[in-house]
Amino acid sequence: MSPHRENKVVAIAAGGTGGHLFPGIALAQALKRRGVDSHFILGTPRGEDRWLDEYGFEYTRISSTPLFRNLSIRTVNSSVKNIIAVKESLAVIHKLKPDIAVGMGAYTSGPFLISCYLSSVPFVLFEQNLIPGLTNKMLAPLSLHTFVTFEGTKLRANSIHVVGNLIRDDVKPKAKSKALKKLGLKGGRPVLVVIGGSQGAATINRTLIDAFNTGWGKDYSFVIQTGIKDYEYVSSIFREKGIEGICRDFFDDMGAVYGAGDLYIGRSGGGIFEALLANLPLVLIPYPFASGDHQRANAEYLEKKGSAVVIDENDLNAEVFMRTVDALTNDKDRMRKMAENSKGLAKHDASDVAAGIILEEMGVK
């Protein structure tokens, strides 16, 4: 590390879900390549420790928790915890003395970035979704820069940069042959990558099991990420039905997962950009209770771009699922066109572009 970069530190408020944490890790990787350290600020525990420990980044927890908009005891409790989180954040800032802070849009960002503002610490924001969340809507006018994934994102901000979603170095897709070998797949069949997000998706898991129970699935290889809660049940049916492929609660090597795939099936949060980087056609099932219905907006955007087919969760059942997947995989021309449309929607250099702008604000060359 060169002398003029010593003690430079960026505080990254992230966590809550993988869609908010993983882009933060991608940014931290890009900053590290330029000799600048990152320190993560997390809220109430949701399993993020595992990933930050694995990637070697330090972190501090504050009491921030999701805000609820209905009038209830839960809303009062969350408000109290977030007030406490502001006080804790002020102490963290005093100790850490960050040169700049970054908010990844999760609920952790609010209390910490408010404390940064009160402490005269400059900050920037990242918005992964087409429809911005409440925290970013409130804080964007105060941020130095706001980085967005979609061209159509509307925010009242000082400086907006369309950089795409930030993707971790190790998630960038491996070559098909290497990916198949890594996962122990034979090849020769279409590979369906079924991802319920970092926490899993019970509705998608149940639909998949219902489809397997009809005898469907023998024409495919599957790479299924179930999440922790459904893993035992889904994996037992997977084995019982003799389905070809691999089933895990969570995959560490997502570069192999996406590199092996021919079709992505899953939610439409931030993880879709990892699939787009592999130029995969998408079958998207938006989570209907996402804040501001942002997953639906993401999915419809990609459907209009010709890279996705969208199934509303209210319409989802085994028959619709099987019909949609079979229709796509039997139409090679459509699959090729969708894959071609996916190209360019995920930007390979998003992390480095964003890191460069942040470092310029810090006076780091």
Residues 102-116: tens digit of each pLDDT:
999 878 899 999 999
- Mean per-residue pLDDT, 174-199: 91
Distance between CA atoms of residues 238 and 240, nearest Å? 6
Work out the pLDDT band at 39, boundaries 50, 70, 90: very high
pLDDT exceeds cutoff 50 at 13:
yes
Please tell me whether 184 is known to bind a ligand. no
Handedness of CA 190, 196, 200, 204 (dihedral sign): negative
Mean pLDDT of the chain: 92
Helices (H), the chain: 18-33, 48-55, 73-96, 109-118, 134-139, 176-183, 202-213, 231-240, 254-260, 272-277, 294-304, 318-329, 332-342, 350-362
Q: Where are the domains of the chain?
A: 3-166+349-362, 173-342
Instruction: Select from 200, 212, 178, 199 the least CA-distant residue to 321.
Output: 212
Residues 33, 358: contact at Cβ < 8 Å?
no
Sign of the torsion angle spanned by Cα atoms 322, 270, 168, 225: negative
Residue 275 has pLDDT above 90, yes or no: yes
Reduced to 3 states (helix: H, G, I; strand: E, B; else coil), residue 306 is: coil
Q: Is the pLDDT of residue 158 over 60?
A: yes
Measured N-to-C along each axis, helices 18-33 and 48-55 cross at an angle, to the nearest 10 degrees, of: 20
Residue 126 near residue 25 (C-beta atoms within 8 A): no
Q: Is 110 annotated as a binding residue?
A: no
Q: How much is the average pLDDT of 128-143?
A: 93
Left, alpha or beta for 357 (phi > 0: left; psi -120 to 50: alpha)? alpha
Decide if 3-166+349-362 and 173-342 have a common fold. Answer: yes
Residue 179 has which token pair?
């990916």
18 is in an annotated binding site: yes
Helical residues (DSSP H) of 195-331, grouped into ranges: 202-213, 231-240, 254-260, 272-277, 294-304, 318-329
The span from the CA of 329 to the CA of 11, in Å, is 44
Above 70 in pLDDT, residue 129?
yes
CA geometry: angle at 149 spanning 11 and 358, to 5°? 35
For domain 173-342, the question of CATH label 3.40.190.10 is answered with no
pTM (2 decimals)? 0.89
Name residues whose C-beta falls within 8 Å of residue 63's C-beta, 6 or more positions apart in sequence.
Answer: 43, 44, 81, 82, 84, 85, 88
Which residues have C-beta within 8 Å of that of residue 87, sequence separation ≥ 6? none
Q: Is 129 annotated as a binding-site member?
A: yes
Asked if residue 205 has pLDDT above 70, the reply is yes
* Residue 71 β-bridge partners: none
Buried b (16+ CB within 10 A) or exposed e, 308-346: bbbbebeebebeebbebbeebbeeeeebeebbebbeebb
334 is in an annotated binding site: no
The per-residue pLDDT for 56 is: 96
Distance between CA 287 and CA 295 in Å, rounded?
Answer: 6
CATH class of the domain whose range is 3-166+349-362? alpha beta
Q: Kindly report which listed range (8-12, 200-204, 332-336) carries the lowest average pLDDT score.
A: 200-204
